[in-house]
Amino acid sequence: MVFSSLIFLFVFLPIFLLVYYIVPFKFKNFILLIFSLLFYGFGEPIYILILLFYSLLNFICGLLLEKINNDKKRKICMVVCIFINLSVLAFFKYTNFLIDNLNLLGLNISEIAIALPLGISFFTFQSMSYTIDVYRKKVKTSHNFLNFITYVSMFPQLVAGPIVRYEDVEVELKIRKINFQKFYNGVFRFLNGLFKKVLLANNLGYLFSIITGDISNISALSAWLGIISFSLQIYFDFSGYSDMAIGLGQMLGFNYPENFDYPYIVTSITEFWRKWHMTLSNWFKDYVYIPLGGNRCSKLCNLRNILIVWMLTGLWHGASWNFILWGLYFGIILILEKNFLKKLLDKLPKVITHIYALFLIIIGWLIFAFEDMNVLKEYFIKMFFNTSVLDKEFIFYFKNYFIFIICGIIFSIPVFRKIKLNKFFVIVVYILLFIITIASLVSDTYNPFLYFRF
Amino acid sequence: MKKFISIVVSFIILIFLLLFIFLPKKEFSYNENRYLEKFPKFSLNGLFNGKYTSSLSDYVSDHFPFREYFLSIKSNTFKYLGIRYQSDIYYGEDGYLLQEYKKPTNNKKIVNRINNFSTNINGNVHVMLVPTSIYINNDKLSKYNKNYNEEITIKYFKDNLSVNFIDTSSKLKQNKNKYLYYKTDHHWTTYGAYYAYLEFCDSMNLTPINYKFEMVDDKFYGTLYSKILDNSLDYDKIFKVVDNNNYVVNYDDNIEKNSLYNDTYLSKKDKYSYFLDNNHALITIENINSNNNNNSILVIKDSYANSFIPLISSHYKYIYVIDPRYYHDSIINYINENNVSDVLFLYNVLTIDDDLGILSIK
């Protein structure tokens, strides 16, 4: 089930919230758990078992880490647990990637027919963070299995983040305040995310798909428009989903960490990665970069650490070489900025550095968007070495979809920190946007047949 | 402010949930021309292969309260935001909706199939591949579009078919201002069919009849309207030609009528089905008033032919109409068994590429 669907908004969510608010506090986690499993099982019934497996695995490991006193044995226990977690993730996500690459080397193995459980990259990392934090004695072992499964499977952030650490919800799992003010804030936050996803991301995504439908003859401007719409789409899609997750969390009494902080107004790539998918970069920093030595070892060692972390970040995003390339691309830029580029950038005017950052971010999305290297190459050529700069198709795209581009740009900027709007105006706008959102969701399911099928 | 918004939104959601649960559910959607999803029966098998839950989702969507009003809201909102291209349809001038033509992928396969098919037939084979509104009425289309040129496809067919190709493009273009295509439907009007008929007669050495046209309906909203549901659009009018011949028409061997038209469709939504009663695998038309028993034609076609055949029925004793999407027997055998002298392929450029029948004619 997805948040931006009629069945979630009008059936699942209202029924869930009614039951959740009515039952006494001691049953709230149970209700949340049941509905979360229903939510996840709606799309993937068999994969509920994976959620249960991860919960059991890491819960038991947490108990063992508490019982065992020997430092060496504790470390082995944690490593084995993490290894099992990662093996399950690798099995589902990277087996065929591995097979394809072995085949390139000459072997002839057939791919296995396996479907990727939705959100597995998120909840695997979420579960592992608990075990590592217990090992580090940063959080206390959980003795309440019900609360623990609820932590792993809570539906707001289960499928698309933010990656929530146990310490973010430990207190609230045991006792949390649910009041009207939190509810109103939660609904408002949820609506922000819903509008970003349905009104902006979906339409920008559609624009990207029609521009890239057939790239053999596109003009340079069309190619640029395409990748800009992709850049905007992915931001509104991802941050929209995070907004909805955080908003839902607030409605339930939880405080999830933020995941995006206007990443497109930055003036360096270093700054970009402090504002984009923050829970993931923090995860890699705390659980991979720092254990490897971070920047507290030799220059060469630090270089190695950065490259490893970014290669893994790329790989986390997808089982394909272009994602690894994307990760390394940023890793290298970050190394350059850290070592001398940043000093140079600090001397330049903000306008220049902003353009510098946006340019590199967009090129990054280019690598991210095309898994097929040949298509990537061709698109790159069309952007930079194209004899055709402007054509009627470009004007067509721009004329029809400029409103989404303009709104996309405006809402990437924190305009509402400076501008205060009239409250009545905002109320009317939000309600109208909600109605148009429903209309868009309905329209997506509208499916006329030219010929009556019998 | 957040309080007010939250309360209103929550209220809207609760109201719609109640309406969804308690409002009676429709079975068939006239605008979508399909049956709406029924509440699925539970089965463990269905649950684990995902069919049960996707059916539940579809059930909620299909029966969402005021569904068609919401579609209308979306189309109109987008229209007012300056988006003149929705659901693969361009908003043209004078209330014309123009369905987009996308680059075809099956030209070669189709031409080869027709060529191979034709070598097995004793009679003459003719192909009439007809352009659609977006090509003929291109003056109504914004010059900024991403439409593919139908002329390229027509030229390909003309150059690569080994049989007679009847090119209707110039005749249609010359008369484009005579309401040759519906504004809200993807078909041509009886006038469009008429000018193609003139070209047909020219190619077959027939003397064209100067038909009188009679309006049978003036409130037609067609297939393109159905995708958008914009009620500010002008209605289309449906015409028939006046023909005093008598016919015996067999629809799929079990319904015998004396008319090429089905009036009951004029009081429904899908009015174009008035012509030749919608879709049938095989229709046989016998012209009682014709004396020449050897004069027959077999038409392999899509729905454009439905409004064309009443124009040629006066010229033949027997007309056999086959829709290969539904007719799965050997057409070649049928042609030979019935001693058909001429075979006509009549298709429009837009739907031939995706047509499920033409690639398996035998």
Name every chain B residue with its beta carbon within 8 A of the beta carbon of A10: 13, 16-17, 20, 60, 64
Q: Helix (H, G, I), strand (E, B), or coil: what is residue B345?
A: strand
Among all residues of chain A, which has the CA nearest to that of B5?
Answer: A427
* C-alpha distances out from residue A361 to A202, A228, A367, A379, Å: 21, 10, 10, 16
Question: Is the predicted pLDDT of residue A446 greater than 90, yes or no?
Answer: no
Q: Give the max Cα distance, chain B.
A: 83
Distance CA A62, CA A78 (A): 9
Residue range A355-379: average pLDDT? 95
Distance CA B320, CA B299 (A): 6
Distance CA A41, CA A37 (A): 6
Name every chain A residue with its beta carbon within 8 A of the beta carbon of B10: 14, 187
Most A CBs within 10 Å: which of B70, B185, B354, as the mutation test of the A interface? Answer: B70
Residue range B333-361: average pLDDT? 91
Cβ–Cβ below 8 Å for A11 and B48: no
Q: Which of B20, B58, B71 sits opposite A10 (nearest CB)?
A: B20
Looking at residue A451, what is its pLDDT?
59
Cβ–Cβ below 8 Å for B303 and A451: yes
Residue range A168-192: average pLDDT? 92
CA-based nearest distance A445→chain B, Å? 6
Residue range A72-93: average pLDDT? 94
Cβ–Cβ below 8 Å for A431 and B5: yes
Over the stretch B53-82, which tens digit does the pLDDT of each residue have?
A: 999 999 999 999 999 999 999 999 999 998
Name every chain A residue with its beta carbon within 8 A of the beta carbon of B17: 10-11, 14-15
Looking at residue A454, what is its pLDDT?
36
Over the stretch A264-317, which tens digit does the pLDDT of each residue have?
A: 999 999 999 999 999 999 999 999 999 998 888 888 999 999 999 999 999 999
Cβ–Cβ below 8 Å for A188 and B6: yes
Distance CA A165, CA A19 (A): 26
Among all residues of chain B, which has the CA nearest to that of A391?
Answer: B144
By percentage, how much of chain A surpasses pLDDT 90? 80
Q: Which of A185, A401, A445 sits opposite B61 (nearest CB)?
A: A445
Q: Helix (H, G, I), strand (E, B), or coil: what is residue B248?
A: strand
Cβ–Cβ below 8 Å for A439 and B14: no
Over the stretch A157-173, which tens digit does the pLDDT of each residue have?
A: 998 889 999 999 999 98
Helix or strand holding residue A424 (H, E): helix A423-444
Name every chain A residue with its beta carbon within 8 A of the beta carbon of B270: 452
Question: Is the predicted pLDDT of residue A449 greater than 80, yes or no?
Answer: no
Over the stretch A212-260, which tens digit does the pLDDT of each residue have?
A: 998 999 999 999 999 999 999 999 999 999 999 999 999 999 999 999 9
Distance CA A312, CA A289 (A): 11
Decide which of B47 and A375 is more confident.
A375
| Beta carbons within 10 angstroms of residue B19's beta carbon | 14
Residue range B193-211: average pLDDT? 95
Name every chain A residue with its beta carbon within 8 A of the beta carbon of B146: 210, 392-393, 396-397
Mean pLDDT across chain B, nearest whole number?
Answer: 92
Residue whose token pair is 């919230």: A17
Name every chain A residue with its beta carbon within 8 A of the beta carbon of B13: 9-10, 13-14
Q: Which of A400, A423, A443 sits opposite B1 (nearest CB)?
A: A423
Residues of A annotated as catalytic are 317
CA-based nearest distance A301→chain B, Å? 49
Among all residues of chain B, which has the CA nearest to that of A251?
Answer: B6
For chain B, first and last CA: distance in Å? 69
Cβ–Cβ below 8 Å for A439 and B73: yes
Q: Which of A10, A11, A183 sits opposite B6 (nearest CB)?
A: A183
For B32, phi and psi rounded to 5 degrees?
-90, -10
Name every chain B residue with its beta carbon within 8 A of the beta carbon of A13: 13
Mean pLDDT across chain A, nearest whole number?
Answer: 93
Q: Helix (H, G, I), strand (E, B), or coil: what is residue A88?
A: helix
CA-based nearest distance B54→chain A, Å? 8
Report which of A168, A229, A164, A157 is spatially closest to residue A200, judged by C-alpha positions: A229
Cβ–Cβ below 8 Å for A400 and B67: no
ipTM (interface pTM) = 0.89
Most A CBs within 10 Å: which of B63, B144, B252, as the mutation test of the A interface? Answer: B144
- By CB atoms closer than 10 A (0-12, 13-18, 19+), residue A125 is buried
Among all residues of chain A, which has the CA nearest to that of B227?
Answer: A448
Token pair of A345 as six digits: 């950038």
Cβ–Cβ below 8 Å for A396 and B32: no
Looking at residue B48, what is its pLDDT?
85
Which residue spans within B252-341 are E strands per DSSP? 255-257, 282-287, 296-301, 318-322
Please check whether residue B316 is in contact with residue B297, taking contact to mean a CB–CB distance below 8 angstroms: yes
Angle, CA of A45, A48 and A51, to the nearest 5°: 160
Most A CBs within 10 Å: which of B7, B60, B86, as the mutation test of the A interface? Answer: B60
Q: Which of B31, B84, B351 sits opposite A400 (nearest CB)?
A: B84
Cβ–Cβ below 8 Å for B85 and A426: no
> pLDDT grade, residue A450 (50/70/90)?
low
Cβ–Cβ below 8 Å for A442 and B103: no
Over the stretch A371-403, which tens digit does the pLDDT of each residue have?
A: 999 999 999 999 999 999 999 999 999 999 999
Most A CBs within 10 Å: which of B29, B58, B61, as the mutation test of the A interface? Answer: B61
Q: Where are the alpha helices (DSSP H) in B23-174?
A: 44-48, 51-62, 67-80, 107-119, 133-136, 150-160, 169-174
Distance CA A454, CA B243 (A): 32
Residue range A107-135: average pLDDT? 90
Task: List B213's β-bridge partners, or say none.
Answer: B241
Distance CA A410, CA A405 (A): 9
Sorted by sequence, the CB contacts under 8 Å of residue A347 that are 6+ apart come out as: none
By percentage, how much of chain B surpasses pLDDT 70? 100
Question: Is the predicted pLDDT of residue B307 greater than 60, yes or no?
Answer: yes
Name every chain B residue with its beta carbon within 8 A of the beta carbon of A210: 146
Q: Give the max Cα distance, chain A.
A: 73
- By CB atoms closer than 10 A (0-12, 13-18, 19+), residue B39 is exposed
Most B CBs within 10 Å: which of A13, A443, A453, as the mutation test of the B interface? Answer: A443
Distance CA A430, CA A439 (A): 14
Specify the pairing of strand B247-251 against strand B282-287: antiparallel
> pLDDT grade, residue A453 (50/70/90)?
very low
CA-based nearest distance B93→chain A, Å? 16
**Residues A417-439: b if buried by 16+ CB within 10 A, e if exposed:** eeeeeeeeebeeebbebbebbbb
Distance CA B211, CA B198 (A): 11
Report which of A4, A454, A452, A203 is spatially closest to residue B226, judged by C-alpha positions: A452
Q: Is the pTM of this model over 0.90?
A: yes
